[in-house]
Amino acid sequence: MTKLVLANLKMYLNNNIDTQNYLNDLKQEKDKFIVFPPIIYLDRFIQNGFITGIQNISFHKEGAHTGEVSALSATDLGAKYVLLGHSEIRQKGESDELINQKIKIALNNNLKVILCVGENLEAYNQNQTKEIINNQISKALKNIDEEIMISYEPVWAIGTGKTPTNNEIEDVVSYIKSLFNYKIKVLYGGSVSEKNIETLNQINNLDGFLIGYAATIPSSLKKIIEVAYK
């Protein structure tokens, strides 16, 4: 089964040359993955025909909010998706209640939402993964009926090179799907790379991958896409 591939480029593309090289290297694969570039280069990706999303949005509609980006602006530019609740932003103090507001404004502006959830190492060691995820989802999706996607990203696996076992991921994915009354797509993110993609791709109930650093290396992303499309 073909799986979705999402590339979160975070803040790794920092100049025009690197960005253009990235666009050139992946132009043949542009229809096979969804890319979340740095906001300053979002329009470049859209103009080159890539399927794009924005890495975050403001919960404000408009106004005096220096440095923030509205959902309406993202949609108007041509973005189709938005990542919300990523652990790197949660660690800066973003609450599930704030994420809930962002999801509502994203959906009202026709952005498809990928909600990131996951436990830290302490919770994992104490077998609290499902409790944490249930709490995050119930609060972030309060009074929301529209369909979204979920990305399971154990905080302790992001950027560490460590990943849960396939059985652990499969169990969490099944649990997440059991919380919804529609056929939700659940992705996995957290140190996904060209080295472990063959193994991770064997998880039958998984719908795709959210890749971070490995997605910034065109050769690695191509390998991941190749395996995900088997």
Return the active site residues.
86, 153
Q: How many CB atoms lie within 10 A of CB 163?
A: 19
Q: 86 is written with which tokens?
A: 């990523």
- Helix 166-178 crosses helix 129-140 at what angle (to 10 degrees)? 40
Name the residue among 177, 164, 170, 158 with its Cα closest to residue 88: 158
The residue behind tokens 């302490």 is 122
User: What is the chain's length?
Assistant: 230
Please list, in sequence order, all residues whose beta carbon lies within 8 angstroms of the beta carbon of residue 171, skipping any fewer than 6 positions away: none
CA torsion sign for 84, 115, 148, 104 is: negative
The C-alpha atoms of residue 154 and residue 177 are separated, in whole angstroms, by 17
DSSP for 88-107, please give it: HHHTTT--HHHHHHHHHHHH
User: 31: exposed, middle or buried (C-beta count within 10 Å: 0-12, 13-18, 19+)?
Assistant: exposed
Distances 167 to 34, 35, 139, 173, 205 between C-alpha atoms, Å: 26, 28, 27, 10, 11
